Amino acid sequence: MTKLIAGNWKMNGSLTANEALLRALASGLPQALPCDVAVCIPAPYFAQFQALAAATPALAAVALGAQDISSQPAGAFTGEVSATMLKDFACRYAIVGHSERRQYHGETDALVAAKAQQALAVGITPIVCVGETLAEREAGQTTEVVKRQLAAVIQANGHCISEIVLAYEPVWAIGTGKTASPEEAQTVHAVLRAQLAAATAHASRVKIIYGGSMNAANAASLLAQPDIDGGLIGGAALKAADFLSIISAAS
Ligand code: 13P
């Protein structure tokens, strides 16, 4: 299957820095992309991305993604950004349930499932993040934790579950420089694939991507695993050369 390399810029960027990064990406991208490419950027910069992409042919194939989405369709929810608002900017993806949102904003499995539902309702592909903490891994709970997190999304979304992208992001590997080994990651991806297969006949089509200190040096070995269908890249997505190397490793 075509792999997906998605950058998660997190709360980084500025008008000036974004333009430099996107222009550097545009000039380094091959004419025919070897994989699907997306950048999940802070919402205030969607219009900037749209304008640059419209004026820069090499960026036309780079999809826009959001880092979060409201669980509600509209109304009195101060500070939230709805699925239809994202759609106005031709957002193709929205990350939901990133561990930083679960950890710092108290997002529950049920809320994450509702967010995925909002995205799917307007045709945005939710990138659903699951992953265990270091304490959970050391307690032997990895499988139980990721299965619980995915089960909530399956339960709320029924047969539409085949339309999601699933991201396995072990919390202990995020921003730490400590990557799951290709074998460790593959083991969890296989568990998730089996869980999807019990819910949909199309589980083999669902992209299950890995995130957590993926970089130019380790991307190829991770992406060579049978159930690793791409990457969700934090730090390395902020450096054009690194992001471009990961993209070329996904061919
Ligand atoms: P890093 O690549 O910086 O570890 O971040 C991973 C991540 O959280 C992507 O969503």
- Domain layout of the chain by residue ranges: 4-9+14-249
Residue 2 has pLDDT above 90, yes or no: yes
Q: Tell me if 246 CB under 6 Å of ligand 1.
A: no
Closest CA to 168 of 152, 188, 142: 188
Q: How far is the CA of 211 from the centre of ligand 1 (A)?
A: 6
195: Cα separation from own chain's centroid: 19
With 0-12 / 13-18 / 19 or more C-beta atoms within 10 angstroms meaning exposed / middle / buried, residue 166 is buried
Closest CA to 86 of 54, 128, 40, 52: 40
pLDDT class for 76, splitting at 50, 70, 90?
very high
The token duo for 186 is: 């593959």
Torsion sign, CA atoms 181, 183, 187, 190 = positive
pLDDT class for 48, splitting at 50, 70, 90?
very high
Mean pLDDT of 134-153: 97
Specify the ligand 1 atom closest to the Cα of 177: 4
Q: How far is the CA of 77 from the centre of ligand 1 (A)?
A: 28
Residue 61 has pLDDT above 90, yes or no: yes
Mean pLDDT of 121-140: 97
Residue pLDDT, tens place only, 165-224: 999 999 999 999 889 999 999 999 999 999 999 999 999 999 999 999 999 999 999 999
CATH superfamily membership of 4-9+14-249: Aldolase class I (3.20.20.70)
Residue pLDDT, tens place only, 13-40: 999 999 999 999 999 999 999 999 999 9
- For residues 53 and 51, what is the distance between their CA atoms, to the nearest angstrom? 6
pLDDT class for 251, splitting at 50, 70, 90?
confident
Q: Tell me if 214 CB under 6 Å of ligand 1.
A: yes
